[in-house]
Structure 1
Amino acid sequence: MQYGLRDWARRQPERPALEFDDGSVSYAELEGLANRYAQLFRHHGLSRGDHIAAILGNTADPLALAWAAYRCGLYYTPVANTFSAPEIAYIVDNCDARLVLADARYAGTVAPLAAVPSPGRQHYAIGDIPGFTPLEPVLAGMPATPVADETPGALMMYSSGTTGAPKGIWRPLWSREDAGDGPPVFARDLIQIFGLSSDLRYLSPAPLYHAAPLRWSLAVTAAGGTAVIMRKFDAEHALHLIETRSITMSQWVPTMFRRLLDLPAGRREAFHAPWHRTAIHAAAPCSPELKRAMINWWGPILVEYYSGSESVGLTCLDTAEWLRKPGSVGRAVKGVLHILDEDDQELPPGRTGRVFFSGISAFQYYKDPAKTAGQTSRQGFQTLGEIGRVDEDGYLFLADRQGDLIISGGVNIYPQELEYAIEELPLVAECAVAAKPHADYGETPVAFVVPSRDVTDETALVETIIDFCRTRLGRTKQPREIRVVDRLPRSDVGKLLRRVLRDQLRAEAEGGS
C-alpha cells in the first residue's frame, strides 16, 4: 500500500508540507511525527477499529495524528477546542476513545477528563495538564519508522450540532485490498475533483478540528503540495499571507468573506495576488449579494461546493456557472442527486423537496440507529437534512434545513429566502430568520438583523426593512417582527446557529413575553 505523504517524504524530504507563521514542517518531519504517533498507538495495544480523540490547536499534530490513525486502522475524532468541559467529555465518551491527546492551552476544559475513572483510556498532554501524561518524552522514545502492520483507518468526525447534540459519523473501515494503492481514501475524492497537485500552495484559515480544513490539508499533503495554516483567522493577515506566500488556492466560509469585505477600502484596493487562482468556499450558505461582492473584488476565481461531514455526496460549481445560475450550489460531482417528497417519492425538476444522494457508501450515526434512520430514505438514499430543488440542467438550489422550515398558517416559509432578500439592503450586514410560536398561525417569522456600520438610527432601519419587505416579499412571508442585534449566533466556522434564536423565541412565548 502506498501513501502520498510517505512517497513525498522519500522523494523530496526537505519539501515543506506545512507552513506556519513561525516556521515550517518538511515532508520528512511530518512523516516521522506520524510514524511516532503510530508507534505510540501500537505501544498501548490499540488495534484495528479502536478510537482516539484529540483536543488541539492548528499545529502539525492534528495532521500527523490523522495520518497515524489511518495507518493503524483507527478511527480519529478531532474535538473542538472551543467546546466546554461537558461537551468535550460527551464526545470523548461517546466515541469510545481509548487514547486522548490534548494541548495544555485547553487544560481548563480537558483536565476533568482525567478526574473521572476511565479504565483502558490513556490521556496524553502536549504541555502540562493535571492527570495527563506528558507526551513529549514518550513520543521522543518512539521509533520514527512505520509500524509493521499498517491497515486503513478513518476519520470519525462529529456533526456540528447546529440542530442538536453533535453526532459521530461512522463508516466501516476499508480493507487493505479495497483501499489499494495511491492516495488514502480520505483524500482521493478531493484530489480528483479539485485537481490537487504538487505545485499547490493552499491557505487554510479555519480550525483543523473541522472536517473541511482537516480533510483538505490532509489531501494537500497527499498530493505533495504545501498547506499554509493560520493559527487563527484574521482578515488582514489572511490577505497578507496570500500576497507574500504565493498562495494558489484558499478556502473560506461566508463569514470570513464578510470580514474581508469589512477591511478598509484602501487595503482591499491594494490587494494584489495574480497567482491566487482558486478561492474555495463552503460550509454555510453564501448570499448572492455577498458572493457578487467577492467576485467583483477577486474576479472569477470562486468555486463553491456543497457537502457535509456525513460525506453523502458533493455538488460544485465555478464562478462562470454561478453567474449563469445565481444562488445555485452546483451539480453533483460525487454521488447521485435526488429530490424526494415526504413519502420518499422522486420529484421532478423545479419542485422543492428533501435533498438526498445515492451512490456513496452509507454512513451511520455512531450508536444512534434512530437518527441514522431519520437521514435515510426507504430507497437507502441519505441526506444532510436540507430542502431544495434541482433545475432542468441538474443544478441544485438549497432552500433551507428541514428543521429550520417555518410553517405559518399552513404555508411553508424558508428562512434563507427571507434572509437573502433582507440582506439586499445595503444598511443590513447580516440577517437571520427564525420561527416564533404563534397562537393562531402556529409559527411566524422573526428577522434578526445586524446593521451595517453606516447605520445610526435603528428605528429608521427597522422601518426601512418593513417597507422593503412589503414590496420584496409576499404577504405570508413578511417577518412579523424585526429585531436589531449586534451579532448573530454562529459556530466557530461561521454556520448560523438558528436553533439558538428559535430557543430564545420559544422561551419568550412560553414566558408570555
Structure 2
Amino acid sequence: MPATNPDTTSENPGFYALALQDPQRVAFIGPQGEETTFGELGAQVNRISHGLRALGVGKEDMVAILVHNGREYIELALATIQLGAYIVPINTHLAPPELAYIVKDSTAKVLVAHSDLAGHLHSEIGGLPAHRYAIGDEVEGWQPYPELWSGRLEEQPGDRVMGAIMNYTSGTTGRPKGVRRPLSGLSPEQEAPLASKHFYTLGFRKQGVHLVCSPLYHAAPGAFAINALHLGHTVVCHLKFDAEAVLRAIERYKVTTSHMVPTHFHRMLRLPEEVRLRYDVSSLDSLIHAAAPCPVEVKKQMMEWVGPKLYEYLAATEGGMSQVTPEEWLAKPGTVGRPQPGTTLRIVGENGEEVPDGEPGTIYFSNAGQAFEYYNDPGKTAAARLDGMSTVGDFGYLDEDGYLFLLDRRTDLIISGGVNIYPAEIEQFLITHPSVQDIAVIGVPDPDWGQSVLAIVQPSPGVEAGEGLAEKLRAYCAEGLASYKRPRRFEFREDFPRTEAGKLQRRKLRDEYVDNN
C-alpha cells in the first residue's frame, strides 16, 4: 500500500504531512540547543519505523522506551505510532525491579534505553525483550541504537495507521497499570488534526513555540510535545526544570506555550524580582498547568506577572475531566473548570447515587471515543467503572453553574512536585523490612514540593526506635524505591488507628501529623 498523501487543506495537517510539505521548518531544539527540521525529523522517524517493522512490530504491538528528555523520545514515539503500535514511556527514576516489572507487564517486543539507564537492566532480569537497543555507550547484552535504523529507507512505510501512547500509572494497590485506549483505525494524516484540534482551547495558536521543561515520560508533557508538532510548532526541550533557564528560553525562542505544574510556578515566583523582570515573557500565549491543585494565591501572583494566560485542566492518565480558561478562573477562583464537549462528569456519593450540586462526592467521568482499559487487568478496569463511567478516586463537587471544584486529589495520594506517589506501594515495600512491625505512609505539606512523604513506623518487638533505625530504613528504600518515592522523614509510634476489621484509618494519622508538621 503506498504512503498516505498529506492533507494540504487541513488547518493542522499533522507532523507527518508537515515533514513533507514544509521540511525546512524547525521542529525540535534539544537540550544543548541543537536544531532539527521537520524534514530531518521525518526522515529519521521513517527510518526507525522501517527498523521496527523489520523486527516484527505491527498494529497494537508495544515498544517500550526508557529515555531522557531529548529528540530520541520524539522520534521513537512518532515512529512507533505511525505503525499502529503503542509506545510505552517508562519513568527514568524507577528502581531496576520497578523498571523490569513494567517492561515485562507491557509485553513490549522492543526496548530502547539510554545507556546509563540500560545498564541497570541486566539480562538476568527476567521479562526483557530480545530486541534491546542502547543509546550512547555500549551495554553488554544490548545492541547500539543506530543498528535499529541505520541504512533504512527515509520514505514513509506503507499501510500506516495511527497508534497511541500507553502510559503506566499506579493504582490504589500500588502496582503500575498500563492505560490503553483502542485505536481509531485512521491514518496519521486523518487522526492528527482531530487529536490536536483540542489544544486550541488551551491557548495554542496555529504556529508557535512549545517549551518542554518536565519529563517527557509523563503523560501530559509527552502528549503536549507530540501534539505541538502536529500543530506545526517548534518544540524546545530542556532536560529538567530550572526556573531562570525557563525564562531565558521564553525570551530567546519567543515561546508561546508550555505545560507546567504548580511547583514550577512556585519556584519561578521565588526568583528575585530583578531576575524575573530581566526576561521578556510577552511572547507567551498560555501556560497550561495540571497534575496538582494550584494554590489560589500562587495562581493569582502568576497572572499578575505574566497576564491572564494560565489555563488549567483536571485529568489523569485515564482521561480528562475538566478545564478552565484564565477568565473563568478569575471569576471563580479555585475551580478546575467545566467538562469539555464530549466529556461527561458525575459526582457520586457513598451510596452510588449522583449527588446534588454543591455536595461532595467521587468524580466519575467519560470521554466520547476515549474509553480505556488497564492493560492485562480486566478486574481493575471493572473496579473503576460505574454505569459506563470511570473514576480515579478524585473527590470534589460541582457548583450551580457546572464548575468543578477539587477537594482531595484521591484520598491517599501524595502529589510531590506534580508527581503522583502512592502510599500503598511504599508501605508494601517497607513492611518487608524485619525491623518494621507496621507502617503507614502519608503526605505532609512541603513549601517547595507541595507535599513530601512521611513514613510512620511501628518497630518490630525488641527494635529500638530512633535515628539509627531511620537510617537503616532510608538505606533499604534506596535499594528498591525510586528516589522521589523515598520518605523524607520517619516517625515512630507503638500503635496505629485501625478499624475492627483491621483497616488503617489513614485520615486520623493525616489529621495528627499534618496539623503538627
TM-score (norm 1): 0.77
Q: For 1:260 and 1:162, how far apart are their aligned partners in 2?
A: 33
- Residue among 92, 100, 105 paired with 1:94: 105
Q: How does 1:43-442 map to 2 (within 5 A)?
A: 43-110=54-121, 112=122, 114-116=123-125, 118=127, 121-127=130-136, 128-159=138-169, 164-176=174-186, 181-183=190-192, 187-188=195-196, 190-194=198-202, 196-311=204-319, 313-333=320-340, 334-360=342-368, 361-377=370-386, 379-404=387-412
Contact 2:395 2:407 in 1 (8 A): yes
CA contact (8 A) 1:13 1:27 kept: yes
The 8 Å contact of residues 404 and 498 in structure 1, kept in 2 or not, is answered as no
Deviation at 1:190, TM superposition (A): 3.5
Aligned residues of 2:60 and 2:85 also touching (Cα < 8 A): yes
In 2, Cα distance between the equivalents of 1:81 and 1:371?
25
Does the Cα contact within 8 Å between 1:66 and 1:76 map onto a contact in 2? yes
- Opposite residue 305 of structure 1, the aligned amino acid is Y
Aligned partners of 2:203 and 2:286 also within 8 Å: no
Q: Matched residue of 1:331: which SS? A: coil
Partners of 1:205 and 1:133 lie apart in 2 by 30
The Cα shift of 1:85 comes to 0.8
Cα contact 1:190–1:216 (8 A) shared by 2: no
Amino acid at match of 1:324: A
- 2-side partners of 1:61 and 1:325: how far apart? 41
Q: What residue number does 1:460 align with?
A: none
Maintained 8 Å contact 1:97/1:121: no
CA contact (8 A) 2:104 2:128 kept: no
C-alpha contact 1:115 1:131 (8 A) present in aligned 2: no
**What is the rounded CA distance, in whole Å, between the counterparts of 1:118 and 1:291 in structure 2?**
45
* Greater length-normalized contact order (CA 8 Å, ≥ 6 residues apart): 2
Q: Distance in 2 between matches of 1:331 and 1:68?
A: 35
CA shift for structure 1 position 370 = 2.0
> How many residues get paired?
432
Q: CA RMSD in A?
A: 3.3
Query: Quick one: distance in 2 between partners of 1:184 and 1:138?
Result: 29
Question: Gaps (5+ residues) in structure 1?
Answer: 406-414, 420-431, 436-443, 453-496
Cα contact 1:17–1:26 (8 A) shared by 2: yes
Question: What is the CA–CA distance in structure 1 between the aligned matches of 2:37 and 2:232, rounded to whole Å?
Answer: 11
Structure 1 partner of 2:479: none
Tell me the SS of whatever aligns to 1:169.
Answer: strand
Deviations 1:239-296 (A, max 9, x none): 1001111111122101111111221222123332222121111111111122122122
What is the match of residue 27 of structure 1? 38
- Are the aligned partners of 1:197 and 1:220 in contact in 2 as well (CA < 8 Å)? no
Question: 2: distance between equivalents of 1:180 and 1:284?
Answer: 34
Is the contact between residue 347 and residue 362 of structure 2 (CA under 8 Å) also seen in structure 1? yes
1:160, distance to aligned residue in structure 2 (A): 5.1
- Conserved 8 A contact 1:190-1:219: no
Separation of aligned partners in 1, 2:441 and 2:93: 31
Aligned sequence identity (%): 35
Q: Is the 8 A contact 1:33 1:144 kept in 2?
A: yes
1:337 Cα deviation from its structure 2 partner:
1.2
Alpha carbons of 1:499 and 1:324: their partners in 2 closer, same or farther (altered >3 Å)?
farther
- Residues 374, 380 of structure 2: 8 Å contact kept: yes
Assess, with a 3 A threshold, how the Cα gap between structure 1 residues 196 and 326 changes in structure 2: closer, same or farther: closer
- Structure 2 stretches of 5 or more lacking a match? 7-12, 425-439, 449-483, 498-512
Give the direction of change, closer, same or farther, for the CA distance of 1:157–1:12 in structure 2 (3 Å limit): same
* 1:36, distance to aligned residue in structure 2 (A): 1.1
Q: Report the TM-score, using the length of structure 2 for normalisation.
A: 0.76
Closer, same or farther: CA 81–144 of 1 in aligned 2, 3 Å: same
- Indicate the larger mover: 187-196 or 42-51: 187-196
**2:20 aligned with 1:10, yes or no?**
yes
Secondary structure of 1:330's counterpart equals coil
State the SS of the aligned residue for 2:339. strand
User: How far apart in 2 are the matches of 1:228 and 1:88?
Assistant: 28
Match of 1:476 in 2: none
Shift of 1:341: 1.3
Amino acid of the structure 1 residue aligned with 2:162: P
**In 1, Cα distance between equivalents of 2:152 and 2:441:** 58
Contact 1:163–1:403 under 8 Å retained in 2: no
- Assess if the C-alpha contact under 8 Å between 2:254 and 2:284 holds in 1: yes
In the TM superposition, residue 61 of structure 1 has moved relative to its aligned partner by: 1.5
Offset at 1:69? 1.4
